[in-house]
Structure 1
Amino acid sequence: MATKSLSILFVASEAEGLIKSGGLADVAKALPEALLNLDQDVRLCIPAYRKVSNIQESKVLLETRIDMWPHTEYKVRELSIADVPVYAIDCPKYFDREEMYAENNQAYADNGERFAFFSAACLDMLRKLSYKPDVIHANDWHTGLVPYLLKNRYKEDTFYSSMKSVLTVHNAVFKGVFSYEELHCLLEFHSRFVPEAAISSTHVTMLKAGVMSADKINAVSPSYAEELKTELGGHGMHKEFKTRERDLVGILNGCDYSSWNPETDEFLPQAYSSDIKSMKKGKKLAKSTLQGEVGLKKRDVAMYGMVCRLTNQKGIHYLLPILDKFLSHDVQLVIVGTGDPILASQLKELSAIHGEKFAFIEAYNNRLAHLVEAGSDFFLMPSEFEPCGLNQIYSMAYGTLPIVRGVGGLKDSVIDYYQDRNAATGFVFYEPTPVDLLLTLLNSLLLYTQNPKEMERLQSYAMKQDFCWKNAAQEYLDLYYSA
C-alpha cells in the first residue's frame, strides 16, 4: 500500500455535473472526487462541448496550437466539479455542436478526427501548462489514442518519458472503428501502417490502440475483465485482451451515493431509511406518486421498474417475447428509456394493449428515474452483457430488489435469493433466454405475494450494502502504482 501522493490526469469524453449521456460520466465525476479525498492531485480533461455548463463564461488558461502538423488551434478553459480542476479543450470546429456524439441517431461523420484531435490536445497542453502528471488515465475508445500517442509521439521526449498510462474499458462493444483517412489529422497514421491499432489494411480501432499501448488496463468489474478474454465476451477483441492479461484487472465501479440516497433524495415525496418502518412508508408513497405520474391505477401491487437505453445489450429482446404472459399476472410495470426506435415502437404497442398494467415512457428523465428506483419493488436488468452497471446498485440503495442476468458487474454485485437466502440482495438468472427471465420474474412475484415479511427483510438488507467509491478509488490507486 503506497503512501506518496500521485498526480493523475483523468481524460474522458463526458463528466456528470458538466455534461452526460451515460455511466461513463458518472465515473468521470465520482472517481476523481474519491481520489481527491484520498489526498491525490487529480485533474480532469474533457472536450468543451457547446452544452457544457458555463463553458463560455469560463476562464481561458491557454491559447495555442498543436505542436505537430496540422497545428490545429485550440484553447484550454478552466472549470471544476466538486473541487476537481477541469481542463476543457475548446476547438469550435470539433466541439461547438448541438450534441456530443450524434444527432438524430446519426453519429457525426468526423467522430474519428474529433477524438483523435482531443487525444492529441490532452497531451500537447501539458508542457504548456507546466503540468506533469505521474499517470494519465484514459477511458474507452474516445481517448484510446492517448496511451498510443504517449508511447509513440512522445517516447523520446524527456518531459513525457516518466508518465504512465492506464486505460479503463467501460464497454468494449464500442471500439471507435475508423479508416486511416478519417484519422488523417495524426501524422502517425499517414503511413497507413499502425499494427497496434489495425483491424484490416484500411481500418483501425482507437480502443485497440489504447489496449495495446497502455501500461495498465482495467475493466469496470472483475467478471467483465474475465469475459473480455473470451471469444463470447471479448466483442471481437479477445485476442488483444488475452495478450495483455498480465496488465488487465477488474475493478467494480463504486456508487455516488450523494446523488442516489433515499434519505436525502430531493426527487422523492418522502425520504426514508433502511429501517423497515421508514422504508415501507417511504416506498409506499413513492409507489403511489409514480403510479399517478405514469397513469397507472394507484393500488398496492408488485411494481417492476426499468430505466435504460433501449438496446439489445440491455436485454429488451429477452423481455418483449414474455411481456404478454407476465402481464397476465397481478403486476404493474414501468419502463423509462430512449434508444432503438424499433424497440420503442414495440414497447409502445404493448403498453397500448396493457395500459392498465404497463406504462412505457419514451424519455430520458432523471427525476422519473429516481422515482422508478424508489417506487418499484423490483428493478429489471436482464442484460445481454453488462460491464459494470450502476442501476442494480442504486436499486439496492432504495430497497428495490434487482432482477439481473449473471454477467459482468451484475454477477459481481447481486446475490441471488435462491442461492444464498441470508446474504441475498436480488434475483439472478444466467441463461440468455426469455423463458429464464420469465421464471425469475415469477419467482420474485411469488416472494412478494406469499412472504411479505421476508420480502421486507430482503429489501432492508439490500439497502445496507455499501458500494462506496472510496474502496474502488483505493484499488485504482494500487493500479496506478503498479503502472
Structure 2
Amino acid sequence: MATKNLSILFVASEVEGLIKSGGLADVAKALPEALLELQQDVRITLPAYRNMAGIDQAKVVLETQLEHWPHTEYQVKALEIVGVPVYAVDCPKYFDRPEMYAENNQAYQDNGERFAFFSAACLDMLPKLGFQPDIVHANDWHTGFVPYLLKHRYHSDDFFAQTKSVLSVHNAVFKGVFSYDELQSLPEMHTRYAPDAAVSATHVTMLRAGVMNADKINAVSPTYADELKTELGSHGMAQDFQHRSSDLVGILNGCDYSAWDPQNDPYLPANYKASRQSLVRGKKACKRELQKRVGLGEQDVAVYGMVCRLTHQKGVHYLLPILSDFLKHQVQVVIVGTGDPVLASQLKEIAALYGDKFAFIEAYDNELAHLVEAGADFFVMPSEFEPCGLNQIYSMAYGTLPIVRGVGGLKDSVNDYDVDTSDATGFVFYEPEPIALLNVLQRSLLLYAQEPNEVKRVQLHAMEQNFCWNKSAQEYIELYHSALS
C-alpha cells in the first residue's frame, strides 16, 4: 500500500449538504470526507448555483477569466463541507438560475455549454489558486470534459505535467449528448473533429470524452463495471468500455449511515439495535405505526415495502403484472414513490381493489421512507439496472431483508438465502421477468410463515453488515496510485 498522501480535486455537479438532486451528491460529500479522514489533501469543486447553501456569504478567493478563448469571466468562492474545502465556480450567466439542470422537466437548452465551461474553469483556476492536484477526480457526464481537456489542452503544460485523471461512472444512461454547435465555449470543438468524444459527424457525448481520456475509470460497483462492457448494461457505449477495460474497475459505494441508523433514527416510534430482543420489539412497534400511517390493518402479517422513483429502471413494470397474484396471500404491501404517471395510475387501480392489503402513497416523503425501512419485513428492489443502489444497504441496517434483482450493486451487496443460508442477507432473482419476481416473493413469504426464528437470524446477520465509506475510500486511494504509476 503506497503511503504518499495525495492532493485530489474532486469535481462534481452536486454535493449533499450544499445542493442535491440524486445519489451523486451523496458520494460527492461522503467520499471526500472519508479521504480527508485518511489524511489526503482533498478539495471539492462544483458550480455556484443560486440555491446553494451558504453561497451568498461565501468569500470570493479568485476573480478572473478563462485563459483560453472565449475568456469568460468567473469568480471562485470558498466554502466548506464536513471539513473539506470547496471551490464554487461562480458564473451568473450559466449558474444563476432557479434549478441545476432543468425547469418543469425541460433541460436547460445550454447544458452542454454550461458544463463545458465548468469543466474548463475547474482546470483554469488551479494555477491561479496555487493548488496542484496529483489527481483530478471527475464524475459522470457533466465533468467528462475535465479528463479530455487535461489530455488535449494541457498535455504540455508544466503545471499539470504530473496530474492524472479519474472518472467515476454513476449512471451511464445519462451521457451528455450535444452537437458541436452547442459547445462553443471550447475552441477544441470548433474544428468539429473530436474522435475521442464523438458519436456521430455532428455530435459528441461528454461521458465518452471522459471515458476515452481519463487515466483510470471506475464504476460504482464491481458488477456494474462488468455490465458497462455489455451492450445492454452500457446503453450503447460497450465498445468504449471494452476498449478501456484494463483501466476500468468497480468500487462499491460506501454508505453514510449517519441518517440511516435504527438506533437513533428520529422518525421511528421505537429505536432498536442488532440484538434479538431489541429487534423484535422495535420492528413490531414500527410495523404497527406504519400500518396505522398508511391505513392498513394492524395485524401480524409479512409486510413488503418499496420506496423508489416510479420508473422502468426501478423495475416497477416487473411488479405490476404479478402484484394482484401476490396480494392473494396473507401479506401487506406498501409502496411510496412518485414518477411515471402511467405506473402510478396502475398502482392506484390495484390499491382500489386490495385496499385492506396494499397501500400506495404517491409522494416523496422522507419520514415515511424511514418508517417503511423499519416497519417492513422485506424491502423490494426489482431494478432493471442499478449501478450501486443504497436502499438495499439501508434495509439491511434496519433488519429488513432486501429482495433484489441480481444486477449492479444489488448483486454485490446482497447475499441470496437460497445460495448460502448461513451468510444470507436477503433474496436475489435474476431473470428480468415478472414471474421470476413473483417466485422470489413467494420464497421469502414461505420462509416468513414457516420459520420465523430463521427470519430473525437472517435479519440480525443483515444488520451486522457494514458498508462504511472508509473501506471504499481505501480502494479509491489505491486507484489513484495506480493512475499515477
User: Shorter-chain-normalised TM-score: which range?
Assistant: over 0.9
Give the 3-state SS of the residue equivalent to 1:317 in structure 2: helix
Aligned to 1:273: 273
Deviations 1:248-275 (A, max 9, x none): 1111111111221111222222221110
Aligned to 2:455: 455
Aligned to 1:376: 376
Q: Distance in 1 between matches of 2:233 and 2:360?
A: 30
Aligned to 1:173: 173
Give the 3-state SS of the residue equivalent to 2:313 in structure 1: helix
Give the 3-state SS of the residue equivalent to 1:233 in structure 2: helix
Aligned to 2:63: 63
Aligned to 1:136: 136
Superposition deviation, residue 315 in structure 1: 0.6
- What is the one-letter code of the residue matched to 1:274? A
1:122 and 2:122 equivalent? yes
Give the 3-state SS of the residue equivalent to 2:422 in structure 1: coil
Structure 1 segment 205-224 matched on structure 2, within 5 A? 205-224=205-224
Q: Distance in 1 between matches of 2:46 and 2:194?
A: 26
Structure 1 segment 305-384 matched on structure 2, within 5 A? 305-384=305-384
Give the 3-state SS of the residue equivalent to 2:259 in structure 1: coil
Q: Rate the CA distance shift 1:93–1:298 in 2: closer, same or farther, 3 A.
A: farther
Give the 3-state SS of the residue equivalent to 1:425 in structure 2: coil
Superposition deviation, residue 364 in structure 1: 2.2
Give the 3-state SS of the residue equivalent to 2:63 in structure 1: strand
1:29 and 2:29 equivalent? yes
Deviating beyond 6 angstroms after TM superposition, the runs of 4 or more aligned structure 1 residues are: none
Superposition deviation, residue 293 in structure 1: 2.2
Aligned residues: 483
Q: TM-score, normalised by structure 2?
A: 0.97
Superposition deviation, residue 48 in structure 1: 1.6
Q: Distance in 2 between matches of 1:90 and 1:36?
A: 25
1:416 and 2:419 equivalent? no
Structure 1 segment 423-438 matched on structure 2, within 5 A? 423-438=423-438
Give the 3-state SS of the residue equivalent to 1:388 in structure 2: coil
- What is the one-letter code of the residue matched to 1:434? P
1:15 and 2:2 equivalent? no
Q: 45-54 or 401-410, which moves further after superposition?
A: 45-54
Q: Distance in 1 between matches of 2:229 and 2:372?
A: 35
Superposition deviation, residue 220 in structure 1: 0.8
Q: Distance in 2 between matches of 1:313 and 1:102?
A: 20
Q: 242-251 or 335-344, which moves further after superposition?
A: 335-344
Q: Distance in 1 between matches of 2:207 and 2:420?
A: 38
Give the 3-state SS of the residue equivalent to 1:225 in structure 2: helix
- What is the one-letter code of the residue matched to 1:312? H
Q: Distance in 2 between matches of 1:228 and 1:407?
A: 11
Q: Distance in 1 between matches of 2:165 and 2:238?
A: 21
Give the 3-state SS of the residue equivalent to 2:31 in structure 1: helix
- What is the one-letter code of the residue matched to 2:322? I
Aligned to 1:103: 103
What stretches of structure 1 of length at least 5 have no aligned partner? Answer: none
Aligned to 1:296: 296
Superposition deviation, residue 482 in structure 1: 0.3
Q: Report sequence identity in percent.
A: 71
Give the 3-state SS of the residue equivalent to 2:423 in structure 1: coil
Root mean square deviation of aligned Cα: 1.3
What stretches of structure 2 of length at least 5 have no aligned partner? Answer: none
Q: Distance in 2 between matches of 1:191 and 1:347?
A: 51
Superposition deviation, residue 357 in structure 1: 2.0
- What is the one-letter code of the residue matched to 1:39? Q
Aligned to 1:145: 145
Give the 3-state SS of the residue equivalent to 1:159 in structure 2: helix
Deviations 1:389-439 (A, max 9, x none): 111111101101000001111111111111110000000001000000011
- What is the one-letter code of the residue matched to 2:30? A
Q: 63-72 or 161-170, which moves further after superposition?
A: 63-72
Give the 3-state SS of the residue equivalent to 2:257 in structure 1: coil
Q: Distance in 1 between matches of 2:55 and 2:25?
A: 17
- What is the one-letter code of the residue matched to 2:291? Q
